[in-house]
Chain A
Amino acid sequence: MKRFLSPKGLVGIILVTLIALVGILAPLLIPPEAATAMDMTARLAPPSANHLLGTDQLGRDILIRVLLGSRLSLEIAVTAVMISIVIGLPLGMVSGYFGGRIDNVLMRLVDTLLAFPALLLALTISAVLGPNLQNTIIAIGVAFTPYLARIVRGEALRVAQMPYVEAARAAGTTDLFILSRHVLPNILPAIIVQATISLAFAILAEAGLSFLGLGTQPPAASWGLMIQASRDYLERAPWTALAPGAAVALTVLGLNMFGDVLRDILDPRSK
């Protein structure tokens, strides 16, 4: 419990809670039209009482767009990570538990996929399917799957060799039952930790994809898109880049710190 209250852990928990709250509440409290409301008299206006973080090239309030962007970023990251779990978990479990030829074939495929940089894989899938919100989620989810499958496989392999699994097998329990009742609960902590860290990477990936125009499309309030739009006005209005950049950084920082805390609590072996 001592570790749980370390300053770093505390900051992580506070950041994650705060961002989750903003992601949930912002769309409820801010009318959606506010995100695209243009104030043509105040284009690229510096931070002021009217616009706390200034405005962008179309006179849109940056604070409002950053706040609303949290929902989009989190939605994409959470769904993408869920996709990678839905595909990667059974793959990794089957591979690690059964071992042998199935394991060889599956892991050979996973290793091949790991040769493709995750961002390249995500960009390619998104470009080929046509960039939009849904395909961005699919692209990131698929790109992260091999990493998750690898970790799940390692954990499943470890649990499969435990005496209680052997005992269950000797007692004639079916593989399906062992997988769902013995293996799954015991690998869950590792998966939760990995999922948290994946969330951080998914946020970065979404920002990267959108930044390149192969992710979410305008006029969505996406942090990556906002940073991309800021490129042409960097000298005149640096806040247009700094605000969404800081939002990405705080979210990823929080998730990484939170992931470390979770690892210490859930996975004592890693100490």
Chain B
Amino acid sequence: MTYVLNRLLSVILTLFLITLVTFAITNILPGDVAMMIMGTQSNPEALAGLRETLGLNDPMLVQYGRWVGGMLTGEWGDSLIFKKPIAELLSQKIVASSIIVVMSMAIALGAAVPLGVWAAVHRDKWQDSVSSTTALLGVSLPDFFWGIVMILVFAKWLGWFPSSGFVDPSENFLLAVQHAFLPSLALGLGLMAHLTRMTRSTMTGILGQEFIRVARAKGLSEGTVVWSYGLRNAIGPVITIAGLQIGYLFGSIIVMESLFNYTGMGWLTYQALLNRDMPLIQATVFVIAAVVMLTNLLVDLLYLAIDPRIRLG
């Protein structure tokens, strides 16, 4: 319990630090929001006036306080390019991205765990080489390259999946999944590599242990030994790695959603960055970092639930 409480306290502190970092990064810019609203050719007096109204002449600390205060009270401001409340934009796009995040993680785990177990069971045989080569190929190709290949093969040549766009799952669930499938697959391939390696190495360690020998000696089937006895003990570190990859995933969705024109968080972040929509940049960057941090916390707690040994420590 103390552990959980400590973690929660550290979450609040980290969230605060995330706001500081976000604010700092977005304020190293030479231009400012007023310039972005009115353009570089605008009348200096009007520009000065707008700066005054937007409070850009206030000390940095005051501006920071106003930004954080606004977020705490739900006043996230408006996006400069979309001319819409940022909170509304975010809530829509987060739903869209969560589909991709969940699907790509499921694809990655669904492929990596069997592949890793397979390699561990047939250690140092050809199966092991096949598995490690596949894993290496997965990390070595940029995921947007996979994305392009998939557009070419599955969308253009075979015509099985749409090559771009987003469909709201509440309108048509099947169509929504179809639109999310190719970007998820491309992302999943990139994620798969580390997960396969991790599964292989923890599984190799577990399979060499005494209790596995005992299980075999008892006459349990090889399937039960590997999948039930072995994997249950090996899955913990794999889940930890999967949790850490959430961060990587949220970086990659920026590229992938832009490539597939899938209007989620990644796409929104990209539009914000491309158009230097400062309020939107701040909001998206903060939200992504916060989500990554909270996911990592969740994974830690999940790990705690799966593996009782940790609780004692």
Contacts and interface: CB of A to CB of B under 8 A. Distances in A.
Interface of A: 108-109, 111-121, 123-125, 127-129, 200, 204, 207-208, 211-214, 224, 227, 230-231, 234-235, 238, 241, 245, 248-249, 252-253, 256-257
A155 B17 CA distance: 25
Contacts of B142: 204, 207-208, 211, 224, 227, 245, 248-249, 252
Nearest to A108: B17
Given A116-B247, A214-B273, 9 more contacts: A116-B285, A117-B248, A118-B248, A120-B251, A200-B140, A211-B144, A227-B142, A241-B148, A253-B136
Contact of A119 (B137, B148, B255): B255
A3 to B, nearest CB: 13
A124 B26 contact: yes
Nearest to B290: A115
Nearest to A257: B136
B17 A123 contact: no
- Nearest first, the 3 closest Cβ-Cβ pairs linking A and B are A117-B251, A119-B251, A127-B273
Contact of B292 (A116, A207, A241, A256): A116
A111 B141 contact: no
B140 A252 contact: yes
Given A108-B13, A115-B292, A116-B21, A227 B148 contact: yes
B182 to A, nearest CB: 13
A112 B136 CA distance: 29
A39 to B, nearest CB: 24
B137 A253 contact: yes
Main secondary structure of the interface of A (DSSP, over half): helix
Contacts of B25: 121, 124-125, 128
Interface in B1-44: 13-14, 17-18, 21, 25-26, 28-29
B144 A114 contact: no
Given A113-B21, A120-B254, A123-B254, A234 B152 contact: yes
Nearest to B153: A238
A238 B274 CA distance: 27
User: What's the interface size class on B, roughly?
Assistant: 35 or more
Contacts, number: 134
B166 interface: no
Given A117-B247, A120-B250, A249 B274 contact: no
B14 A118 contact: no
Contact of B285 (A124, A214, A230): A124
Nearest to A128: B29
B281 A127 contact: yes
Interface string B147-171: 0110110001000000000000000
A118 B251 contact: yes
B251 A245 contact: no
A112 B17 contact: yes
A115 B16 CA distance: 12
B160 to A, nearest CB: 15
Contacts of B28: 128-129
B227 interface: no
A181 B49 CA distance: 58
B148 A231 contact: yes
Nearest to A127: B273
A120 B285 contact: yes
Contacts of A213: 274
Given A207-B142, A249-B140, A249-B141, A120 B269 contact: yes
A38 B142 CA distance: 28
B58 to A, nearest CB: 20
A119 B250 CA distance: 9
B237 to A, nearest CB: 15
A212 B258 contact: yes
B289 interface: yes
Residue of A207, A224, A245 most packed against chain B (CB within 10 A): A245
Contacts of B137: 249, 253
B140 A123 contact: no
A214 B247 contact: no
Contacts of B250: 117, 120
A234 B281 contact: no
A196 to B, nearest CB: 14
Given A124-B273, A127-B274, A252-B139, A230 B148 contact: yes
Residue of B26, B140, B289 most packed against chain A (CB within 10 A): B140
B121 interface: no
A255 B225 CA distance: 37
B276 interface: yes
Interface string B272-313: 011010000100010011101100100000000000000000
A136 B236 CA distance: 37
Contacts of B29: 128-129
Contacts of B259: 231
Contact of A115 (B270, B274, B289): B289
B141 A252 contact: yes
A208 B156 contact: no
B241 to A, nearest CB: 15
A120 B288 contact: yes
A198 to B, nearest CB: 13
B145 A214 contact: no
